[in-house]
A = this chain, B = another copy of it.
Amino acid sequence: MHEALRKYINKYASTEIGDDDFELIKNKFTAKHFRKNQYLLQEGEVCKYVSFIVKGAIRQYSIDQKGIEHIVSLCTENWWVGDRESFTMLTPSKYNIDAVEDADVLLLTKADFQELVGTAPFFVASLSAMDYNYQIAAQERIHAAISFSAEERYLNLLANNPALLQRFPQTMIASFLGVSPETISRIRKKVHQ
């Protein structure tokens, strides 16, 4: 199961990681299986782990006072999931994170995260890649949210990340895009007719 992490690290390393260097990193990650609907994090808890997704589909969302879910992230293989604010600041999270499909993840605690940052250059390189991938995706997502119509947001997702449309139900896609499920239905009919 740690092989996926090794591949991920090699993807962003300037040279391939050796066994000893990987051993050092691997030992800090705990493998865990989550069944569909199980929580990785619940609102009000401090986010103790960042999780690397080996297999499965996971979402991060808040629930407002009316009980409506708002999905900030939809994540699949080779993405990291966690509440960045809670993990960094040790504050109670306003988010829930749960498995939309059965999922295999590798968990890393904050203490181990910080130790790796200080001792494992290969980890630092892939962390930097993760940070930039996240920042680029976030910039794109903010741009879409403030400047695109509902239809443009759907078409943008279809163009740039069509796999998500296959992995997550339509109601979650709607919440992720910040539009109503009815609007998504209408757009899908129009686009795919």
Contacts and interface: CB of A to CB of B under 8 A. Distances in A.
A79 interface: no
Given A62-B147, A64-B147, A147-B62, A88 B142 contact: no
Interface in A97-142: 117, 128, 131-132, 134-136, 138-142
A58 interface: no
Interface residues of A, number: 31
A40 interface: no
A139 B145 CA distance: 12
> Main secondary structure on chain A at its contact with chain B?
helix
Contacts of A140: 85
B136 A62 contact: no
Contacts of A165: none
Interface centre among A117, A136, A140 (most CB of B within 10 A): A136
A84 B136 contact: yes
Contacts of A176: 146
Copies in the complex: 2
Interface in A47-98: 62, 64, 68, 70-72, 83-85, 88-89
A136 B134 CA distance: 11
Contact of A147 (B83, B84, B138, B178): B178
A134 to B, nearest CB: 6
A132 B127 CA distance: 12
Given A72-B146, A142-B141, A142-B145, A132 B84 contact: yes
A32 interface: no
A175 interface: yes
A177 interface: yes
A145 B147 contact: no
